[in-house]
Amino acid sequence: MSPRWQQLRACSVIGAAHRRQDKPCQDTSLSATLPAAGGNLQLLVVADGHGSARYRLSHRGSALACQVTQEAVQTWLACTPLSQPERWRDLLTQELPASIQQRWLEAIAADWQTQPEASQEAFSPLTYGTTLGLVLLAPQWWGCAGVGDWDLAGVDVEGQAVLLSEEREHSGSEATGSLCQPPEQQGWPMRAQLQRLEQPTELRALLLSTDGVRKSCATDADYLQLCAELVNLRDPQELEQGLNHITECGSGDDVSIAMALQADGPAKRRAWLKPRAGLGVLLLAAGLGLGAWLMVHRETPLQAQARELCDNPEQIPANLNQRRGQFQALLHNPQLSTQLQQQASTDPLGALIASSQEGTIAGCAALNAELSRQWQRARTPTAPANGKMPPAAAPGAAPGKP
């Protein structure tokens, strides 16, 4: 079976320095699922507006770059089957960059007409300057392209991350490629690549980021370790909090990530920040604060249980059906909820069920829907043949983990 990509996430956070200066966030990120014949095409995009006075509308430039990238990809997807990876390789190198560039120039020219200064100043693409990185994820291949100093990391099923694409032309300087440059200076072909996914594949996740993330790290090893941990954050709010901490303790720049995980082949989980030779404390450049944040936000037993169930949604009903007595016991004895939640380390599924009695839990839609169905069944039990209802389970009789 071909790998399927799931859990697309994109998040942009204003930099701590820009927040103090009352500047807008010049980063934009996007993730989207585009229906196609032969399977969906997933799209990840990040863009980083240049931000200085010369590029004063770069926050609009980055937002429009992400928008027109999705439009351009959808246009080519309508006439290009996903089963033709070599054609998509050519598109990433040639036609797609040209299409994005043309659409972006038209979009920023239209946006300029809405600006108050348009009547006194001539339009210039420099005003909207931005980088752009994109990743395409098909069932049997993935590809990337773009311009500027974005980074792409891959994480394997063992939890090890590797840098798959970076800007080399301007390495070691603040200069970078930009959509506002002439096309021949942008260097799209140097960043374009397409890789087929072998079956089975060792690739578990791809993480695309703007340069503010990597600049917050002391070394490339620290950046890759951070990527390996970020792909494990399932809660969007937790991810946003993490990016806020990265910019506050690191570069102060805007930070953006867009990432996707494969549905098949779950990773072998590692203890969060378990000491590893040569790493010591994660992200020295971001200070001890980031390492402390990751320690505080390590996965709890209840979160791990929810993740395991959501990784295999077809098994959720069977697992919860085995706990029907527990749902009924919780309705008859409210004190049991506290007891089960305190025993999360030994019975995480029991703790999850108890927590769900108070409302929706942090998990997938399939899990919350099945929990809701089980609670409904528990509230309207079917009477047995003899007409007598069975006694409620004792508080200490919670079933073991299936």
How confident is the model over 230-247, as pLDDT tens digits? 988 878 888 898 899 889
Lowest mean pLDDT, pick from 9-23, 40-54, 247-261, 284-298: 284-298
Residue 309 CA to residue 298 CA, distance in Å, equals 18
Task: Say what the pLDDT of residue 98 is.
Answer: 96
Q: What is the mean pLDDT of residues 189-211?
A: 91
Residue 185 CA to residue 39 CA, distance in Å, equals 35
Give the bridge partners for 261, in sequence order. Answer: 6, 205
DSSP 8-state assignment for residue 149: S
Task: Say what the pLDDT of residue 287 is.
Answer: 40
Give the bridge partners for 154, in sequence order. Answer: 162, 206
Task: Say what the pLDDT of residue 223 is.
Answer: 93
- Residues contacting residue 141 through CB under 8 Å, at least 6 positions apart: 85, 88, 194, 195, 196, 197
Task: Say what the pLDDT of residue 341 is.
Answer: 87
**Residues comprising the chain, all counted:** 402
Task: Say what the pLDDT of residue 382 is.
Answer: 62
Q: Is the pLDDT of residue 7 over 60?
A: yes
Q: What is the mean pLDDT of residues 190-219?
A: 91
Task: Say what the pLDDT of residue 37 is.
Answer: 83
Report which of 278, 293, 308 is spatially closest to residue 239, judged by C-alpha positions: 293
Host H or E run for residue 315: none
Q: 3-state DSSP call for residue 278? A: coil
Residue 339 CA to residue 329 CA, distance in Å, equals 12
Q: Is the pLDDT of residue 283 over 90?
A: no
Q: Mean of the per-residue pLDDT values for the chain?
A: 84
Residue 63 CA to residue 269 CA, distance in Å, equals 35
Lowest mean pLDDT, pick from 159-163, 269-273, 365-369: 269-273
Tokens of 10: 């994109």
C-alpha angle with apex 203: 365 to 27, nearest 5 degrees? 70
Q: Is the pLDDT of residue 273 over 50?
A: no
H helix intervals, 357-394: 365-379
Q: What is the mean pLDDT of residues 32-58?
A: 93
Q: How far apart are the first and last CA of the chain?
A: 27
Q: Is the pLDDT of residue 398 over 90?
A: no
- The model's confidence at residue 13, banded by pLDDT at 50, 70 and 90, is very high
